[in-house]
Amino acid sequence: MKIISYNVNGIRAAMKKDFIKWLQAANPDVLCLQEIKATEDQIDTEAFKDAGYPYQYYYSAQKKGYSGVAILCKTKPDHVEYGTGIETMDFEGRNLRVDYGDLSIMSMYLPSGTNDDRLSFKFEYMEQFLVYAQELRMERPNLIVCGDYNICHKAIDIHNPVGLKNTSGFLPEEREWMDRFVDSGFIDTFRMFNDQPDQYSWWSYRGATRERNKGWSLEYHMATETIKVRVNRAIILQEAVHSDHCPVLVEVD
């Protein structure tokens, strides 16, 4: 199974940049999207059906044009779970899950900390999600949490770790949470295969940072240790340019 996760920073904007053509070429079995910034009725769902994705699930934020996640599937999942059941997390449409047999795949969009209020909200979300993920694993032990974590875990994941150490997305508290998340039983699938620096999935629109590869690694396929042996490949697809983010891919048996 080929799974791609992609923060599109507005699905309607991405679709104006040959997103469908890219999707057909990439050909994932499951596509997890974040920051769709739209409701289902605002999206050209027929275009996705024509591209081979008849099963589409959208979980939008209550605020129009903001946040939201989606999952597009070639084959029908056994179960779809919208949200987490935690109101303070769900009103911004940040978690959506599909189950195939014993495998669960979640599209998650963790909040950014653009100011003090949002940083406080981000920390609250992180703690609630850590508990939620541990409880979910009791029911669904083979879990992949795909998406935009809005956190660079280690110094290798950011282009300027010293200069950005006090910036949200690379704060010590955020990195410590990622440590705890991994220690609770998750594996960074990309780093299973690639230990090289300068492997990024987000670049600011300012200052030609993408051309200079001054980026951040914010996207992860975090898989539970129970399925480590089933992971065959994990890569970053930097050639996709529909967003300030790029997609990440993982293949599992």
What are the structure tokens assigned to 68, written together?
Answer: 């939201």
How far is Cα 142 from Cα 187, in angstroms, rounded to an integer? 12
The two counts, helices (H) then strands (E), for the chain are 7, 12
Sequence-separated (6 or more) residues with CB below 8 Å from residue 41: none
Cα gap 34→147, rounded to integer Å: 7
Between strands 231-236 and 248-252, the pairing is antiparallel
**CA angle, 69 then 215 then 105, to 5°:** 30
Helical H runs in 27-99? 45-50, 87-90
- Catalytic residue numbers read 148
Q: At what angle do helices 172-183 and 116-139 cross, to 10 degrees?
A: 0
Rounded-to-integer distance, Cα 213 and Cα 201, Å: 10
Q: Which of 129, 110, 109 is nearest to 69 (CA)?
A: 109
